Amino acid sequence: MAGRENMEETRKKKQSNKNWVTIRDVARHCNVGKSTVSRVLNGNLNEFPVSEAMIERVKNAAEELGYRPNWMARVMSDKRTHLIGLSCFYTDSPNRSPDRKAFERHALWWAVDIILSLPEFEDYDLVIHYRKESPDKPLKPSDFKSDLFDGMIYLSPSDEHLEFLDMASEDFPIVLIGQVAGAEERMPCVDINNRKMARQAVDHLIGLGRRNILMLVPEKLKHLNCMPDRQHGYRDALAENGIQIPDESIHTVRCLKDHVDAFFENVHRLEEVDAIFCATDDLAALCIAPLQAMGYRIPEDIALMGFGNSLICKGTSPALSSVHLPEEKHVNTAASLLLKILNKEIPYEPGFHEIEAELVIRESTEETKPA
C-alpha cells in the first residue's frame, strides 16, 4: 500500500512541476539500477539478460508512474531520431490542375494510412516531407533533411528532379515507390511492372480479335514515369502480334468530360477503332458516355480497358475491365523494407522489388459472339 502511495506521490509531483517522470524515478521505485531500467525500456536485453519478472515489474512501474521516453535523450543515446520521412512533391505552378492535385492527395494519404497501421512502425514517427519542385531550380541536399530523418520513403518521382538519387546512402537510406531511369541501380525501388501489365492488357484486347486499338493518356498525368512504361507496353503488344502501329495511335487527352467528348467528335477514323486502352480508369470511364451517344456499343463495337482498378470501375455501365494496382502492398512493402534496413536486419542494397499485378476482366471487354 505504501509503495502505491509513493508511486502516486511521485507521479503527482512530476506532473505539478511539469517535469517528465525519468528512468531514475522508475529505478528508485523498483529498487534497481538505472542501467537495468534503461535496458528494459529500450529493449536492449541481449548483452545483459534481465529476468522476465524484473522486465514485467519495470514496465508496470513505468506505465503507472506515467513514464514517457525523453526523445532528445534517446537521440543522443542511439544516434537515431526514429523519424521517417514520407516525401511527396509540391509545386506552386499556376498550371497545377484539379485532377493533378487530387492525384497527389490520394497518393499521399493512402500511404500515410497504410504505414501507420504497420505494427513494426510503433518505434518510429512519420513526418510528411514536402519537396518543392521547380523546373528551373534543383533541390539542394538540405532540402532532404537527412540530419532529421533516419530514412525516407519517396513518392511520385519525376525525371526533372533526380537529386534524391545522389542523397541515398547507408547512412540515409531511401526507398522509392515508383521508377525513374537508373534508380534501381542506386536504391531499392518498389513498383508493379507497368510495361508488362500494359502489354498484358492489350494482349487481352487482341485475344478478343481486336486489331485497331487506340491508347489514351491523361494529359495532366503524362509527367509520371509510369505513363511512358504503359505506352511501351501497348506498343510491345501490338508489335509482338504483328499489328502495325499507326502514327496517331496514342493520344493525350485532358481527363475532363468536355475534353473527352470533344476528342471523340474530332478523332480521325473512329469508325475503324474496335478497342481503346486507357492509361487510367478515370479516363476510361469518361469514354463510355460519348461513345454510346455516338451509337457505339461497348464491348460489341469497341472494347474498353482501364488501368488501376479503382472504385469507379464497378460503377460504370458497362463495368470496366482494368489492371489491378495493389496500392496497399506497394506501401507496405516499401515501409517494411526500410524498417528492416534501419533495424540492420538486411543491408541497404539497390534493386527492383516487383509487386505483382493482375487483370480484372469485366463487362467492357467481355467476349462477344457474332450476331
Number of Cβ atoms within 10 Å of the Cβ of 180: 19
pLDDT band at 73 (very low <50, low <70, confident <90, very high): low
The single-letter DSSP state of residue 134 is: B
**Strand order from edge to edge, sheet including 188-191:** 125-132, 83-90, 151-154, 174-177, 188-191, 351-354
Which string of b and e fits 283-308 if b means at least 16 CB within 10 Å?
A: bbbbbbebbeeeebebbebbbbbbbb
Helix (H) / strand (E) containing 107: helix 98-116
| The CATH fold of domain 194-325 | Rossmann fold (3.40.50)
111 and 128 in contact (C-beta within 8 Å)? no
Q: Is it the case that residue 16 has pLDDT exceeding 50?
A: no
Place of cell 494496382: 325
Mean pLDDT, residues 2-28: 63
pLDDT of res. 170: 94
Same fold, 83-192+327-355 and 194-325: yes
> Who has greater pLDDT, 370 or 76?
76
2-70 placed in CATH 3.40.50.720: no
Spatial separation of the C-alpha atoms in residues 168 and 186, rounded to whole Å: 8
Q: Provide the β-strand partners of residue 321.
A: 305
Spatial separation of the C-alpha atoms in residues 369 and 367, rounded to whole Å: 7
pLDDT digits over 211-240, tens only? 999 999 999 888 788 899 999 999 999 999
Spatial separation of the C-alpha atoms in residues 260 and 254, rounded to whole Å: 7
pLDDT of res. 17: 46
Place of cell 499489328: 243
Give the torsion sign (CA, 145, 147, 150, 151): positive
pLDDT of res. 153: 95
pLDDT of res. 15: 47
pLDDT digits over 247-288, tens only? 789 999 999 999 999 999 999 889 999 999 999 999 999 999
Q: In the structure grid, which three cell numbers stand for residue 315, read together?
A: 460503377
Mean pLDDT, residues 177-203: 94
pLDDT of res. 14: 47
pLDDT digits over 101-151, tens only? 676 677 777 788 889 888 888 888 899 998 888 778 888 888 888 888 999
pLDDT of res. 254: 94
pLDDT of res. 6: 55
Spatial separation of the C-alpha atoms in residues 174 and 85, rounded to whole Å: 9
Number of Cβ atoms within 10 Å of the Cβ of 69: 13
Q: Is it the case that residue 88 has pLDDT exceeding 90?
A: no
pLDDT digits over 146-174, tens only? 888 999 999 888 778 889 999 999 999 99
Spatial separation of the C-alpha atoms in residues 69 and 20, rounded to whole Å: 9
Q: Is it the case that residue 354 has pLDDT exceeding 80?
A: yes
Angle at 46 between CA 41 and CA 48, to 5 degrees: 80
Per-domain boundaries in the chain: 2-70, 83-192+327-355, 194-325
Mean pLDDT across the chain, nearest whole number?
87
pLDDT band at 84 (very low <50, low <70, confident <90, very high): very high
Spatial separation of the C-alpha atoms in residues 285 and 316, rounded to whole Å: 7
pLDDT of res. 50: 84
Spatial separation of the C-alpha atoms in residues 266 and 264, rounded to whole Å: 5
pLDDT of res. 190: 96
CA-wise closest residue to 67 among 20, 19, 18: 20
Helix (H) / strand (E) containing 87: strand 83-90
3-state secondary structure at position 46: coil
Decide which of 3.40.50.170, 1.25.40.10, 3.20.20.150, 3.40.50.2300 is the CATH code for 83-192+327-355.
Answer: 3.40.50.2300
Q: Is it the case that residue 370 has pLDDT exceeding 60?
A: no
